[in-house]
Structure 1
Amino acid sequence: MHYFLKNKLSEALKKLNYPQIEIEVEIPKNEAFGDLSTPIAMEISRHLKKPPRTIAEDIISTIDRDIFEDIQIAGPGFINFTFKNNYIFSELSECLKEEEAFFVQNTGKGRKIQIEFVSANPTGPLHLGHGRGAALGAALANILREAGYNVSTEYYINDAGKQVELLGLSVYVALQKLFGKEMELPEECYKGEYINELAKEIYDLYKNDLKDKSFDEAGDLLIEFSYKKILNDIMKDLEDFGVVFDKWVSERKLYHTGEVQRTILKLKELGYIYEKDGALWFKSTAFGDDKDRVIIKNDGTYTYFASDIAYHKNKIERGFDELINIWGADHHGYIQRVKAAVQALGMSPSQIKILLVQMVNLLREGKPVQMSKRAGTFVTLRELIDEIGADTTKFIFLTRRHDSQLEFDIEIAKRQSQENPVYYVQYAHARINSIFEKADINPEKFSGELFNENEIKIIKKVLMYPMIFDLSVQMREPHRITFYLQELAAMFHSYYHKYRVVSEDSNLTETRLCLCRAVMLALRHGLKMLGVKAPEKM
């Protein structure tokens, strides 16, 4: 519907010799304002210096009204469109013929996009913020691939530097306790039962070799064993969460292959590296950053930013048209320096999009849950998956825009009721599936004249899904699909309780089965995009 309207508006602009601007179409919040609306007249008025309502009248005068029940101008110049029922029924017929292909168009046309997400330091279990980022990244990859983009997903492993050294030191201290030696754990070290578990594994494997070794002597082994074990656990947690990556990139490898050093040399040749106070600095202020950034400290050690620049150079050289980084909200201050580095290396800053994910506030019956037995300071993604399942966790993570706060009540998520959003949506799909176990459908036989007002509203809702999907792709926001699915499921459940789908009236039955089939197709496709199962029974 929205593509059809956009084409009609584009034709109108050509006939009027108006500027060919990008046409925005939206769903009015108040259904009294029609099925679709556009602010195009107000946009064009900025170019032509004409009153928007006059422009709106000009546009309306050129549009063939054959498929529109009504076209109205509202407010300062919005144009509201209401489609005729015959057009609605013909679109429903197309949906039933094309099935899920009806909902998408190839807008990506093979453009290459890389999405880097999660990328948690392999120094401890994944927390809920990582899980929310994982759900977002995987769903975003799904919808972009469905829209015709060539998508590559990637996890960047921070397996070099101070954090993994602190992991090794934390395990060393725990190991000394197993040897009967008491050592004080430095404040910045990692805590939690998982550290003791790592120490016990190492003790069982290497106790005779490590008993009298200092950290300088044993550190490399402890670091290597510990971070690899944690990384394997992270991989398993993500796999069980239904999130897989096309590529895993090691920070260590960037150093071992000389890529970090070559990147610094390239920036130096471009004039963006200088020395000051014994350190090497990247001239990020040349690209809008508030200050220049150290990449090699005065003691000769590299900052994390140095390897991050090399990693983004590596991405650029792989020929992606767009880079999407999904980070925790605490990385907000890092955005400008990374964009500066990307620009210095020859990529437009508009080609990199950084999505910040807010943390999750976990509740149980409305009360905060803060502690984990295993991690010590936070509830792990694994604990949540084990208690309520991957589908429920993923769906709820996607019920809010990524940069807004999310409250997640475990007990509500376990309920089989309207309060639990994923159950409510999945149950709508299963409920329709149970109808089709008892009845066949013939899409050629439905009669539009038999649809009542409530049914036409549901059909229109189904026909709006391609627009919701398209907006999710354009805005890089999968949560729009989650909102839509909840609304469609609520409409269907209400309908199901009010009307009997299968009855003695064969024509009415066939018509209502077609309605149910269309709803089922939209629910199934939306859930698939979110990486959530569409169960046949519940």
Structure 2
Amino acid sequence: MTPEALSSALFDIVTARLDARRAAEPDAAAETISVVDVQLERPRNRDHGDWTTNIAMKLAKSLGTNPRAFAAELTPEIEAIDGVAKVDVAGPGFINITLETAAAGEIVRTILEAGDDYGHNHVLDGLSVNMEFVSANPTGPLHLGHTRWAALGDAIARVLSASGADVTTEYYINDAGNQMDNFGASVLAAAKGEPTPQGGYPGEYIQELAAKVLAQVPNLLELPEKEAIAVARDLGYLQQLEEIKTSLENFNVHFDVFFSERTLHAVDPETGTSLIDQAAVRLREQGHVFEKDDAVWVRTTDFGDDKDRVLTRGNGITTYFAADAAYYLNKKDRGFTEKIYLLGADHHGYVGRLKALAAAAGDDPDVNIKILIGQLVNLNGAKLSKRAGNIVELDDLLNWVGADALRYSLARYPADSPLSLDGETLRSRTNDNPVFYVQYAHSRTRSVAKNALAAGVDRSAFEPALLTHETETELLGSLQELPRIVAQAAELREPHRVARYLEEVAGHYHRWYGACRVLPLGDEPVSDLHRTRLWLNDATGQVIRNGLDLLGVSAPDRM
């Protein structure tokens, strides 16, 4: 019996009680619930059963009864559910449910039939999400900080998609503004063999970009200074952006959209206005724009911001906030119900202004925008990039530690927790390395399956009632949890829950492997117990594989 089937059966039982209450006392308050309100949890103490629910405590008040007494009333009906072996009432009204061995083991069949889709759920069906993350300036290589946002952002997008949301991953290219002119001047200076200009970008990578630009435009140094800077800027930027994209793909992070900031500034020849101009008009129509000191402002303090924000300065130059406004409205126009921003630790000040912007645009800041602030990360033993000079570069990290260890370790912790990782631990092939521990469990399931085939053990029989060993009970219990864990990770935007879950599954599997045999010993004949345990072995491999995929991590067959 799956958790979903048990929840549905419990829902039918309590709904009948609510309907009876309404029929008997039409004027009495009786709560309306859905099947998602019937939540099941795994008891911390396995002696308390396979599942526990607090539904009696939730509904007792609306039914005018005591929670524990109501739980006791429900007990006979729950015990009558096919596959339930025992029901106990604990504490103030918790209902603990123990399944029959065969019913508990049926999750194995469910997992293998679902295959790669096991763990997927529908809690976010109908939600359209724009997930923007990384968005590093295209003026240099990606560094360790960007690496964390890439791993987290992509993992969040994956669990959202697995829970039914329609997700678009997006990289905002900051390709407008003074930093781009400084970048162009730096590339040109390198091409001339001159020192890096004040406020420019140093590093060997600038020398490399300059060589590529010169190869494309051999007469670069003959152009007028202003034109030469523009050419160096635009061609160098395209080269750097391609390098960023390649680094991300090597990190197994794919973006659906690369959105250029220049798009917001570009003037439409038909209307004679830019998206930034149009944003100002739309916010004015909402009644939130005013003029003061020759500048154009948005009254964001009406929506909790610490100060009002300038759209256009007195000299006619638009601000970064104006671009933020145009970009938010562009996302809204593209139909995204929720706009998620994953920002760095130095962007706390953006939370208030972005939420105020959403409200000024007519959205609900508690529903239509979510801002996640990622904290700093350091990796002990990581060396500064020789090319960039002052950063730990993503490409160097990939060569040193590997994509799997980096992705898993960075997604293993909440975004808002400062993080210090040990590089040598991540490189090690020991149980101290969490990703190795989980991946090794998967490779062990594949090795067992291969050896079983050679020994004549196949999946021609499945008798879940035979899975009675305590390690089998533990393993079965954890395998049932993946859909709930994925749904919870998606709703909370916390993919680290998937990583911690996988470590629990791996631990249960390793203990089961040590206690129960899939292969017959010596001349022992192949039995249905061996065959059924092969099903359990393969189902465990499927769960680990599915969970690792949600984190963007591979599931190797051999270690």
**TM-score using structure 2 length:** 0.87
SS at match of 2:169: strand
- 2:478, 2:438 → 1: CA distance? 15
Return closer, same or farther for 1:47/1:125 CA change in 2, 3 Å cut-off. farther
Corresponding residue for residue 438 of structure 2: 425
Question: How far is 1:383 from its partner?
Answer: 0.9
Which stretch of structure 1 is more off in the superposition, 458-467 or 493-502?
A: 493-502
Corresponding residue for residue 25 of structure 2: none
Aligned mate of 2:535, from 493, 503, 514 = 514
Corresponding residue for residue 209 of structure 2: 198
- 2:207, 2:373 → 1: CA distance? 32
Corresponding residue for residue 229 of structure 2: 219
- 1:341, 1:73 → 2: CA distance? 50
Corresponding residue for residue 550 of structure 2: 529
Corresponding residue for residue 232 of structure 1: 242
Question: How far is 1:2 from its partner?
Answer: 3.0
Return closer, same or farther for 1:47/1:352 CA change in 2, 3 Å cut-off. farther
Q: Is the 8 A contact 1:124 1:230 kept in 2?
A: yes
Return closer, same or farther for 1:121/1:30 CA change in 2, 3 Å cut-off. farther
Return closer, same or farther for 1:351/1:38 CA change in 2, 3 Å cut-off. farther
- 1:23, 1:450 → 2: CA distance? 28
Correspondence 1:243 to 2:244? no
Q: Where do 5+ consecutive residues of structure 1 fail to align?
A: none
Question: How far is 1:446 from its partner?
Answer: 3.4
The residue identity in structure 1 corresponding to 2:495 is P
Return closer, same or farther for 1:340/1:87 CA change in 2, 3 Å cut-off. same
Q: Where do 5+ consecutive residues of structure 2 fail to align?
A: 19-29, 269-273
Corresponding residue for residue 304 of structure 2: 288
- 1:247, 1:404 → 2: CA distance? 28
The residue identity in structure 2 corresponding to 1:241 is F
Question: How far is 1:314 from its partner?
Answer: 0.9
Which stretch of structure 1 is more off in the superposition, 443-452 or 127-136?
A: 443-452
The residue identity in structure 2 corresponding to 1:340 is A
Question: How far is 1:412 from its partner?
Answer: 0.9
Q: Is the 8 A contact 1:10 1:20 kept in 2?
A: no
Q: Report matched runs for 1:445-460 at 5 Å.
A: 445-446=462-463, 448-449=465-466, 451-460=468-477
SS at match of 2:519: coil
The residue identity in structure 2 corresponding to 1:243 is V
1:190-243: CA deviations, max 9, x gaps?
A: 3433234334544666676437965x4533223212322221110110111111
SS at match of 1:437: helix
Corresponding residue for residue 112 of structure 1: 128
Corresponding residue for residue 161 of structure 1: 177
SS at match of 1:197: helix
Q: Is the 8 A contact 1:395 1:532 kept in 2?
A: yes
Question: How far is 1:433 from its partner?
Answer: 1.1
Corresponding residue for residue 268 of structure 1: 284
The residue identity in structure 2 corresponding to 1:97 is E
- 1:332, 1:72 → 2: CA distance? 48
Q: Is the 8 A contact 1:13 1:20 kept in 2?
A: no
- 2:364, 2:477 → 1: CA distance? 40
Q: Is the 8 A contact 1:117 1:137 kept in 2?
A: yes
Q: Is the 8 A contact 1:72 1:79 kept in 2?
A: yes
Return closer, same or farther for 1:27/1:336 CA change in 2, 3 Å cut-off. farther
Correspondence 1:63 to 2:73? no
Correspondence 1:391 to 2:391? no
Return closer, same or farther for 1:219/1:278 CA change in 2, 3 Å cut-off. farther
Question: How far is 1:317 from its partner?
Answer: 0.9
**TM-score using structure 1 length:** 0.90
Aligned mate of 1:30, from 35, 42, 45 = 45
- 2:51, 2:349 → 1: CA distance? 39
SS at match of 1:439: helix
1:78-121: CA deviations, max 9, x gaps?
A: 33333222310233233333434443334444542221221111
- 1:294, 1:61 → 2: CA distance? 66
Question: How far is 1:160 from its partner?
Answer: 0.7
The residue identity in structure 2 corresponding to 1:19 is E
Return closer, same or farther for 1:201/1:513 CA change in 2, 3 Å cut-off. same
Corresponding residue for residue 16 of structure 1: 17
Q: Is the 8 A contact 1:237 1:382 kept in 2?
A: yes
Correspondence 1:402 to 2:412? no
- 1:386, 1:344 → 2: CA distance? 46
Return closer, same or farther for 1:355/1:43 CA change in 2, 3 Å cut-off. farther
Aligned mate of 2:330, from 289, 314, 318 = 314
SS at match of 1:103: coil
Correspondence 1:373 to 2:394? no
Corresponding residue for residue 2 of structure 1: 3
Q: Is the 8 A contact 1:13 1:19 kept in 2?
A: no
Corresponding residue for residue 377 of structure 2: 360
Q: In the comparison of the two structures, how many residue pairs are matched?
A: 528
Aligned mate of 1:325, from 337, 341, 355 = 341
Aligned mate of 2:484, from 425, 443, 467 = 467
Return closer, same or farther for 1:204/1:211 CA change in 2, 3 Å cut-off. same
- 2:291, 2:54 → 1: CA distance? 53
Correspondence 1:85 to 2:101? yes
- 1:447, 1:23 → 2: CA distance? 26
Question: How far is 1:249 from its partner?
Answer: 1.0
Return closer, same or farther for 1:173/1:299 CA change in 2, 3 Å cut-off. farther
Corresponding residue for residue 21 of structure 2: none
Which stretch of structure 1 is more off in the superposition, 165-174 or 324-333?
A: 165-174
